[in-house]
Amino acid sequence: MYLAFILDIALGLIFIYLILSLLASEIQELIATVLQWRAVHLRKSIEILLAGDLVNSETKEIIELTNKIYTNPLIKSINQEAKGVLSTFPRKLTWFIASITRFIGQIISKSSQGKTALGNQNSAPSYMSGDTFSTTLIEELKIPKLIYNLTVVRLGKFKELSLQEVREILVRLQKHLETTKISNHITQDIGNDFNNLSQQYTDIFNDFKDHRFDIDTTVERMKDSLYKYVDNFEANIHPQYEFLNETLKRLQALRQHIFQDLDEAIILGGLKPNINEIVQLMNTSSAVYTEIETAIHDDNSPIYQTIKELTDSLPPMIVENIGTIVKRAQYRAKSTEEGIKILRGELESCFDESMQRAGGVYKRNAKGVAILIGITLAVSANADIFHIIDRLSKDMVLREAIVYKAVQTIETTNANDLSSVNTKEILKEILNEISLPIGWTRENLQEQLNWRINKVNSWPVVPVLTMITGWMVSGLAIAMGAPFWFDLLSKVMNVRNAGKSPKPAKNQDDN
């Protein structure tokens, strides 16, 4: 009997805390939605990830890069918004309230950047996948464009060096021809063929710049042009001119040297830059950047302007952080495309790891807010644990009524979907049927404060201190969350049911 009495009191207390925890969860979710806590926390976590630490996350360059990421179409597509006056009005009202609170927070914290917590946006996604982030960051760092620009510069050098080597062979031939009597049409044909080769190389180079062909096809076309030129040179010479045959052999050897293996020619020419070179290009003091700067010789070049714009907008810590990730990716990459793929995977892993840590921080912050909400709710509802236990121990009708309602709740509620519980309806129904030992009613206050104890200036000191302590304990209990109390309610209910004595069987008269 005594155990059943204790279990009934425990069930009543747990059930009251379950209801208040559900109410506290709804309040916290409403506050989080209005103030966009998840979106703000996600953005701040991304800024810290990009900067490498909390201090540098406040710099102008980090904030601007984060703004670019958030304005990327891939990220904007995540943040779906309703349309229509009736649908958008609550959202706009939420934006307005959230912007006011963030503005006040900035004034208090004296933020030097003058930016809102969501940058230049009213709303932002509360969740972002690692794949989406890594793809967007690679786009905003303009890595594909940097690869293309570096390839263009090196392809131009490859073209000029190839033509220069052919030109040197022909200059040597020209010096010999000046001392030899030979038909003018032969020397004219040789000159015209070289001009055609030079023009073809220029056209092939321009086709690549215009994105008409990839680098493999481009080098293949250059090879075909040089082979055709050497074949034409061979067709224009006569066997009796030994010096022309020697020139032909030199051209054939040059052709074989440059294009014996296309993959090797591409690698030696650096026409498929690796990821490490691209990151070095972001650093103005690197050898790769100096190579580009020397090769272009024109500050107004679109290629130079693109690279300059990127390097000026990136803080050193970004280049350093990306460089560390790239070094891990470069060891496993055999091509530019594979390097980008591995880099994307490395960035995705870093993002996921960072978000796991950020999720832990958010949960700790949310728990702190839950405690504040729990204490506030306990005070607002006058949920004094000592008074609740006292009432449940004295009022059998109240105790049995709450236990009966708790049994109904256990039977009709899914533990995995407590969000589906209509807290308002349950509270309304319970308050109509049961007089819970909470609230600022005259009866509760009479029982809580009108005890026969010593008073100071007619003020019930001990009851007031006891009531305040009861609020604090109830506030911490409410902050434990509805899942905790629902699970505990189920366990106590099982213990209570297991402890019941079996009903005696009815006696049957012998026939």
> Average pLDDT of the chain?
78
Q: Is residue 91 predicted with pLDDT exceeding 50?
A: no
Q: Is residue 378 predicted with pLDDT exceeding 80?
A: yes
d(CA 222, CA 197): 9
Which of 46 and 191 is assigned the larger pLDDT?
46
Contact between 49 and 350 under an 8 Å Cβ cutoff? The reply is yes
pTM of the full predicted structure?
A: 0.69
d(CA 265, CA 258): 6
Q: Is residue 227 predicted with pLDDT exceeding 70?
A: yes
Task: Please report, rounded to a whole number, the percentage of residues in the chain having pLDDT higher than 70.
Answer: 76
Q: Is residue 428 predicted with pLDDT exceeding 60?
A: yes
d(CA 202, CA 160): 9
Per residue in 311-351, pLDDT (tens digit) is: 776 777 777 777 777 766 666 666 677 778 878 888 888 88
> Given this model, what pLDDT does residue 125 score?
80
> Given this model, what pLDDT does residue 118 score?
57
The arithmetic mean of pLDDT across residues 293-302, rounded, is 69
| Tokens of residue 221, six digits | 């076309």
Confidence of residue 51 (pLDDT cuts 50, 70, 90): confident
The arithmetic mean of pLDDT across residues 448-473, rounded, is 73
CB-based contacts of 469-472 (< 8 A; 24+ apart in sequence): 469/386, 470/383, 470/384, 470/385, 470/386, 470/387, 470/388, 471/375, 471/378, 471/379, 471/382, 471/383, 471/384, 472/375, 472/378
Q: Give φ, ψ of 64 to 5 degrees.
A: -65, -40
Q: Is residue 415 predicted with pLDDT exceeding 60?
A: no
- Sorted by where each begins, the domain ranges of the chain are 2-24+362-498, 39-128, 143-268
User: What single string gives the DSSP state of each residue in 248-296?
Assistant: HHHHHHHHHHHHS-HHHHHHHTT-S--HHHHHHHTSTTSHHHHHHHHHH
> Given this model, what pLDDT does residue 511 score?
39
> Given this model, what pLDDT does residue 499 score?
53
The gap between the terminal CA atoms of the chain, to the nearest Å, is 38
The arithmetic mean of pLDDT across residues 486-504, rounded, is 71
Residue whose structure tokens are 């710049």: 209
User: Angle 2-35/461-479 helices, nearest 10 degrees?
Assistant: 70
Task: Please report, rounded to a whole number, the percentage of residues in the chain having pLDDT higher than 90.
Answer: 16
| Tokens of residue 148, six digits | 């293309």
> Given this model, what pLDDT does residue 403 score?
85
List the Cα angle 317/322/325 in 5-degree steps: 130
Helix H, strand E, coil C: the string for 465-507 is HHHHHHHHHHHHHHHCCHHHHHHHHHHHHHHHHHCCCCCCCCC
The arithmetic mean of pLDDT across residues 218-236, rounded, is 90
Q: Is residue 223 predicted with pLDDT exceeding 90?
A: yes
> Given this model, what pLDDT does residue 50 score?
84
> Given this model, what pLDDT does residue 347 score?
84
> Given this model, what pLDDT does residue 333 score?
64
Contact between 200 and 194 under an 8 Å Cβ cutoff? The reply is no
List the Cα angle 77/78/82 in 5-degree steps: 80
